[in-house]
Structure 1
C-alpha cells in the first residue's frame, strides 16, 4: 500500500477504536468517565465539564459553588455546538492529533520508522484509547500542544503563537513552552510568535470574561486553583500526599517550591538541546510536575518522543521505564480501589505506586535527554572523521 493510504488507515483506526469500544461496551465508558482516578481529575473530569454546561445553558454563573474548573470558552463551544455530539468530538480530537503526529514525523528524514507506523501505534495505544473514552477535557490541551509543535516545524509563526495561546488558556503552565520556542528561528520570527501569543491571549481573556457573566471568578476557578492546589485530591501526581500531611503553615512556601521545580529545568534544557528535543523535554518536565496529573500526560509525552525514532537506538534503559510505568498503571487502580472502595488499604499504598509512576516518567525524560546527547556526540565524531578524510 502507498504510505498515504497507510496513514489514512492509521487515522481511521484512531476513529474506529474510540467509537467502537463505547458502543460495544457502554459500561467501560461509564466507568472511565465516572470512577477512575487515572484518566481524569476533579479539575479535568467530564463530570465537571457537564456541570459547567448545565450552569451555562440555564443562565447560572458557571463558577458559583466551586465545582466547575473548565475554562469558559471550552464550555461555551461544547454547549453551543457539540452538546449532542460529544461522542464524536473526542475521537475527532485524537484523529487530528494522530494526523499531526505523522506530519511531525515527516519533518525528520533521519527517522527509522515510517510515519504511518507511529500513527498506528498512537491509534492502537490502549492507554490513549481509554483516556479518550474518559472524555477528560485535557485532550484539547494535548491537541494544541501538538499543533504548536507541528506549526513551529512548518515555520508558520502566526499559527504557532495562536495554538500556544490556546494551549496556555487550557493549562497555564504551557506558557513556559515559549522558552524552547526562542530557539526555533530568528529574533524576528520569535517576535511574531510572541506578539500573536499576547494578542490571542488577550482576546481569549475578554471572550472568557463575557461568557462568565462579566466576572473574573473564572481566573480563580481555572488557573489559581491549579497553581495553589487548594483542592487536594488523590491523583497520579506527587503533590497531593505532601500537602495532605503538611502543616498548613508550610503550605504556601512548599507550593512555590513545587511550582519553581516544575519549570526551573526548562531554561538549561533549552540552552543545551536543539529546538525539537528541547520542546519535547520541556513538555515532559511540565507534565512531570503537574499538580493534577493523569495518564493523558504520558500519552502526550510518549507520542512526541515517538516522532524522534532515530533516537531509540541510543536509549539506555527503555525497558526499565516501560516496566515501571506498566506496573504503576496496572496497580494504581487496584490500590485506589482497596483504599477508597473496600477500605482494606490506605493512602500509602496508592501514593507508593504513584511514586513508581513518576519515577518511570522521570526515567523516560532523562533517558531520552541522555540519548539525544549521545546522538549529538556520535554525530560530531562522525563529522570530524569525514573532515579528516577530506583533509588528507
Structure 2
C-alpha cells in the first residue's frame, strides 16, 4: 500500500509518528546514550534553557553544548513543552522525509509522483535508527533534516538556500562542514545518476576552483553572520569552545555508539593532544578522495560520506547511522553489486540486541563494566564499516560495468579483471 498512494501513505506515517511522540516513550528514551549524545541531548537542552531563563550563562558549566541558535529559538519563539516538542520533532522528521523524496525525484528527473515515493518516505519514517532518536528528542533530528534540505536545494541548483542551510547545520554540528565539498560539486553538476555511465568531471581543476570559489566565500559569510547572531544571543564567545570546541577536544566522555569515548578514557593525558589531532585529521581526509572518486556522481559521494561520519565522528548516535541507511533508498542501481548486504544486516541486528543489553548491564543493573558496552560499540563500528565499504564497492562496480558496456577500453579491462577476481 505504501508504494501505491503517496498522498495517503505519507500523512498516515506522519500521524503514526506523532501518536508515538505523545506516549511516555520520550521520557523513557531521552536518557539513552545510544540515541543522544552530550551535543544532542534533550535533558541538557532543557537545563540550558532553565539556566538562561534564570539569568545564568548556560555555557559557564560543562553540560550545555547546544548551539545558541537553539537556545534563542526555544527561549523566545517556540517555548518547549510536551506538546510543542512532539509537534516540532515529528514535523522535522516529516520535512526530512519529504526532502528525501524530492531528492529522489530530482535524481530520476521526475516531475510527477511515482509509486516509489512512498517507499522512499517510509525508508526514513519507519527506520528505527531515525524513529528512536526522534522519540528521545535528540537534536540530531534537526541536523538530519537540515542536511537533507541542503541536498534537496543543491539538486535544484539553488546555491544560496543550499549554503545557508548547510551553515545552519554546521552551527548545530561542526562536522556538517565536511559536506561542503560534495554539495558544491553537486551544485556545479547534476543529481542525475551517472554511476552506470561514469565520466570525468567536465571542468579542469582551475575551472573547478574558479567556479567553486564564490560558493565557498558565500558559505563563509553565512557562517560569520550566524556566529555573530549566536554571540549576541548567548552574550559572549563562550559558546564556541563549548559547542564547536567539544567536537575537536572531546571534553565530555559520556558513552555513545562511537569509537572515541573509550579510547580517550584510557588515554594518558600527555598523549591526548596528539591522538585528538590524528582522529580529527582522519575524519577530515574523506571528503576529497570520495569527491574525486565519484566525481561523476557527487550525490553518491555525499551518501558515502554520511556513512563515514556516522562511523567515525566524535559524538555519533543512531540518528547518524539512520541517515546513511535511509539514503540507500536513493540508489537502487547499486543493489545488484553489493557483496555483503545479508551479513551487514545480520551484524546490525546483532548490535540492536547487544547495545541496549550491555548498556543496561553496565549502567542499569551494575553487573557489567565499560568493557561490556565498548565491545558492543566495536561490533557496531564493524557493522557500519561493512555498510560503508559495501556502498563504496557497489558504486565503483556499477561504474566499471557501465564503462565496459559503453565500450570504454579501460572500463572493459577493469570489468574483465573484476570478473576474474570474483571467480
Q: TM-score, normalising length from structure 1? A: 0.92
Q: Quickly say closer, same or farther: Cα 1:103–1:110, change in 2 above 3 A.
A: closer
| Aligned equivalents of 2:12, 2:134: Cα separation in 1 | 14
When residues 175 and 130 of structure 1 are mapped into structure 2, their CA distance, relative to the original with a 3 A threshold, is same
Determine if the alignment matches structure 1 residue 33 to structure 2 residue 33. Answer: no
| Aligned counterparts of 1:113 and 1:105: Cα–Cα separation in 2 | 12
Task: Output one character per residue of 1:122-147: Cα deviation in whole Å (capped at 9) or x when no partner.
Answer: 22223322111100111111111111
Who is 2:155 aligned against? 153
Task: Give, in whole Å, the separation in 1 of the partners of 2:12 and 2:396.
Answer: 35
What aligned pairs does 1:68-87 form with structure 2 within 5 A after superposition? 68-83=64-79, 84=81, 85-87=84-86
Contact 2:2 2:118 in 1 (8 A): no
Question: Displacement, 1:317?
Answer: 0.6
Against the structure 1 CA distance between its residues 93 and 22, is the aligned structure 2 distance closer, same or farther, given a 3 Å change threshold?
closer
Match of 2:224 in 1: 202
| Cα distance, 1:176 vs structure 2 | 1.7
Question: CA separation in 2, counterparts of 1:171 and 1:360?
Answer: 24
Q: 2:257 aligns with which of 215, 223, 236?
A: 236
Preserved contact between residue 14 and residue 94 of structure 1 (Cα < 8 Å): no
CA RMSD between the two structures: 2.2
1:190 to 192, 206, 212: 212
Alignment length (residue pairs): 381
> Aligned-pair distance for 1:332?
0.7
Which residue number corresponds to residue 356 of structure 1? 379
Aligned-residue offset at 1:323: 1.4
Counterpart Cα distance in 1 of 2:375 and 2:36: 19
Could you list the structure 1 runs, at least 4 aligned residues long, displaced by more than 6 angstroms after superposition: 110-113
Task: Kindly report which structure 2 residues correspond to 1:305-384, keeping only aligned pairs within 5 A, or say none.
Answer: 305-384=328-407
* Aligned match of 2:241: 220
Q: Distance in 2 between matches of 1:110 and 1:161?
A: 23
Ranges in structure 2 where 5+ consecutive residues have no aligned partner: 189-206, 409-423
| Cα deviation code 1:318-364 (max 9, x no counterpart) | 11111111211221111011111212111111111101111111111
Alpha-carbon distance, 1:79 to partner: 2.1
**Residues 130-169 of structure 1: per-residue CA shift (max 9 Å, x gap):** 1111001111111111111111111111111111111111
Query: How many angstroms apart in 1 are the aligned matches of 2:273 and 2:349?
Result: 34
Contact 1:11 1:119 in 2 (8 A): yes
Distance change in 2, residues 1:22/1:181 (3 Å): closer
Residue 295 in 1 paired to residue 318 in 2?
A: yes
Distance in 2, Cα, partners of 1:7 & 1:253: 51
Q: Hey, what does 2:192 align to over in structure 1? A: none
2:92 aligned residue:
93
Give the secondary-structure state (helix, strand or coil) at the position aligned to 1:108. Answer: helix
> How far 1:18 moved relative to its partner?
2.1
Change (3 A) 1:130 1:153: same
The answer (yes or no) to whether the contact 1:157–1:189 under 8 Å persists in 2 is no
Counterpart CA distance in 2 for 1:173 and 1:128 is 19
What is the distance in 1 between the residues matched to 2:52 and 2:217? Answer: 32
From 174, 177, 180, the equivalent of 2:179 is 177
Partner of 2:48: 52
Gapped runs of 5+ residues in structure 1? 386-392
The correspondence of residues 4-23 of structure 1 with structure 2, limited to 5 A, is: 6-23=5-22
Contact persistence 2:150–2:166 (CA under 8 A): yes
Residues in 1 aligned to 2:93 and 2:214: alpha-carbon distance in whole angstroms: 29
The TM-score with structure 2 as length reference comes to 0.85
2:62 is the alignment partner of 1:63: no
Quick check: 1:263–1:285 contact (8 Å CA) kept in 2? no
**Aligned partner of residue 59 in structure 2, secondary structure:** coil
Identify which range, 72-81 or 354-363, moves more after superposition.
72-81
Note the C-alpha offset of 1:113: 7.6
Find the counterpart in structure 2 of residue 388 from structure 1.
none
Check whether the contact 1:165–1:197 (CA below 8 A) recurs between aligned residues: yes
- Hey, what does 1:389 align to over in structure 2? none
Residues of 1 paired with 2:344 and 2:173: CA distance?
26
CA distance in 2 between counterparts of 1:313 and 1:96 reads 30
